[in-house]
Structure 1
């Protein structure tokens, strides 16, 4: 029967690998959140700028220069949005990939934990069986010794 220590060493190795992958996953989540927050802020800024300009249009007449400045500002925000969207998608895909790696490492650790538990149970059953055999043999000897007297 293979030593449980061997399986414990393998499980420990897998556990270290899992922790490394978990750390990488957390870093990817943080990176995604940072980029997604930037995109959210730009989108929010664009929405506020458009609402503000609409309010100005409702209140009074607006100069042509204001239209031009507003349009340039919106174009700049759109440009920033178009730059950030691929970054968000890339960060999301990297985060999902890191999550898959972390999940597979977690599953491997669980497999070894289950394997160790099964081996431990088998060993206990085997030891109990050997103990019972030994007790039966001892009991038989005592009976035979008692009968031979």
Structure 2
């Protein structure tokens, strides 16, 4: 049974590692959501600025200065979007790596749980067999004692 205790200790270590990886995964998810939200907001802002600019063009005459100002603002938003896209991709990769690490840690814990269950099942089976042998010996001894009387 000492080997089962060793497996329990190893399993506890694996569970601690799993919890660390779970925390790391959650941090990566939060980081991804933060960057992705910023990108979404910039895209939404660009869309609304373009929409309002197109409405102002169709509804009234636009001065060249206003046209240039809107174009520069849209270009600035495009630049910010282009800077955010690699950050989002990097955050996504980090999140996926953390998820893979968490999955492997979870599988390790499950392996040790299965090992412990198998060891305990074999030990219970061995105890049953030993008890059966003892009962057979006892009944044989009793039978022989009764026969000798």
What is the TM-score normalised by the length of structure 1?
A: 0.98
Alpha-carbon separation, structure 1, partners of 2:73 and 2:34:
23
Aligned equivalent of 1:106: 106
Post-superposition shift, 1:3? 2.4
**Superposition misfits of 4+ residues, deviation over 3 angstroms:** none
Unaligned runs of 5+ in 1: none
Post-superposition shift, 1:110? 0.4
| Residues 22-101 of structure 1: pairs in structure 2 closer than 5 A | 22-101=22-101
Q: CA RMSD in A?
A: 0.9
Alpha-carbon separation, structure 2, partners of 1:7 and 1:137:
35
Alpha-carbon separation, structure 2, partners of 1:92 and 1:148:
83
What is the TM-score normalised by the length of structure 2?
A: 0.98
Alpha-carbon separation, structure 1, partners of 2:63 and 2:139:
110
Q: Does 1:128 align with 2:146?
A: no
Alpha-carbon separation, structure 2, partners of 1:100 and 1:64:
54
3-state secondary structure, aligned to 1:61 = coil
Alpha-carbon separation, structure 1, partners of 2:139 and 2:17:
51
Alpha-carbon separation, structure 1, partners of 2:3 and 2:61:
86
Post-superposition shift, 1:4? 1.0
Residues 95-117 of structure 1 show CA distances to partners (whole Å, capped at 9, x for unaligned) of 11111111000000000011111
The total of aligned residue pairs comes to: 149
Residues 92-137 of structure 1 show CA distances to partners (whole Å, capped at 9, x for unaligned) of 0111111111100000000001111111111110000000001000
Alpha-carbon separation, structure 2, partners of 1:111 and 1:66:
66
